[in-house]
Amino acid sequence: MFAYVLAVAARTSLGVAGIEAMDRFAMPASVLAAFSSVQLFVYAAMQIPSGLALDRWGPRRVLMVGAALVSIAHIAMACATNLPLAFAARILLGVGDATAFISVLRLVPSWFTPFRVPLMTQLTAIVGLLGQVVSAVPFLWALRAFGWTPAFCILAGLGFSATLLIGLAVADKPGAKRERSDQQGEHALTTIKFVMRDPSTWLGFFAHWTGGMPGMTFTLLWGVPFMTLGMGLSPAVASAVLVAFTCVNIAIGPVVGQLTALRPGGRVLGVLAAAAASTFAWVIVLARVQPVGAWAAFLLGIVLPVSGVASTIAFDFVRRSSPEHRLGTATGTVNMGGFVATIVTVQVIGVVLDLLNPTREYGWSEFRVAMSIQAITLLIGVIGVIVNARRAHVRIIRPVDLP
């Protein structure tokens, strides 16, 4: 779990260091967006390979390799003085980060009863989100107090510590060594074929797309620039909003996990309701012609986490439909959804900002238009959820249905 916390801190570090990165590498918003998107692209692209590795070698080994790669990436970023090296560091970070969440999720069914799995999945996501607190508070403090290189070196040291702890304390399953069955030796292409043919996989993919995009777009890159450059808020207020985002996640995650276990028939409706809430919050904020106050930023910090919590429901669709020897690959495929949506959205926002103001002096009017682009990505996800729910014969509204 410590490794996953650090992976989230690494993933969100650029979100709080975005302005410093633009100054250090002299890049416009579109390049900053690409800088962030390249890591997300690699993360998304590595989900299926990471899932196949989980099914073949188990989460302990995959977690150790991933934590080591993230640490090496931090060292490279600390030393980077030009864009090519910085991009290489982000690529390596994406490879290592891709292993963390799905590895921990793969451990959950091995250690807990099926009824407890939805709750533990939410708790896993919640604990991981403490990484956002790490990046928003101590990392940001270290960045301002000591500078770019020491701050990233501190993250690297923590990552190597996590690698050692995983090797000493983590086991794939309770009891004896992990046994390899004939099914676990199934050819990778066969596994991928069966996973991709399952409509529950695509239901989970678009549920994660719909739930994950709003919060990740906000926390991974554009939230802090939007609040400071667009709304004119101080960095301290922006940091407080990110902390509020995490606190709301922590508060509602267990509730949603328990409801998912008790009422699985409401999963699709929950995802769609969260999407509606995110849309409503953005409409309230962006509908105003003049910059809004801190209350609007905190509104986003309170509502957007609901969408992120709903994205975790996506993994329950494949958990119930996929056999154990394909669960890692199915989980990785679902986990791609939110990140693919975020990659597209983050990049388009950066391009729109540059088109609206090539001088790179972005204000409320530019951010107001650019952040509205999220509505298109969200609509695609909602359509995908509805279509694949019908294909998977999962009702959008169903009476109470105990597992």
User: How far, in Å, CA of 197 to CA of 183, rounded?
Assistant: 18
Nearest residue to 346 (alpha-carbon basis) of 86, 21, 41 = 41
Lowest mean pLDDT among 81-90, 275-284, 373-382: 81-90
Distance of CA 48 to the CA centre of its chain: 16
**Rounded mean pLDDT of the chain?**
86
How confident is the model at residue 40, as a pLDDT? 76
Nearest residue to 31 (alpha-carbon basis) of 351, 396, 361 = 351
Nearest residue to 369 (alpha-carbon basis) of 275, 232, 242, 230 = 230
Q: How confident is the model at residue 397 (pLDDT cuts 50, 70, 90)?
A: low
How confident is the model at residue 189, as a pLDDT? 87
Residue 180 in this model has a pLDDT that exceeds 70: no
Residue 169 in this model has a pLDDT that exceeds 90: no
Residue 83 in this model has a pLDDT that exceeds 70: yes
Task: Please give the residue that has the higher pLDDT: either 109 or 400.
Answer: 109
Amino acid at 373: I
For residues 218 and 308, is the Cβ–Cβ distance under 8 A? Answer: no
How confident is the model at residue 377, as a pLDDT? 96
- The pTM assigned to this predicted structure is 0.78
Lowest mean pLDDT among 57-66, 308-317, 392-401: 392-401
User: How far, in Å, CA of 89 to CA of 105, rounded?
Assistant: 26
How confident is the model at residue 185, as a pLDDT? 57
**3-state helix vs strand vs coil in the chain, percent to 5:** 80, 0, 20
As given in the structure block, the two tokens for residue 112 are 């807990």
Residue 403 in this model has a pLDDT that exceeds 50: no
As given in the structure block, the two tokens for residue 383 are 């359509």
Between the alpha carbon of residue 195 and those of residues 201, 205, 209, 318, 326, the distances in Å are 7, 12, 18, 9, 7
pLDDT tens digits, one per residue of 20-50: 887 788 777 778 777 777 877 898 899 999 9
Residue 372 in this model has a pLDDT that exceeds 60: yes
Judging by beta carbons within 10 Å of its beta carbon (0-12, 13-18, 19+), is residue 396 exposed, middle or buried? middle
Q: Which CATH class is domain 2-391?
A: mainly alpha
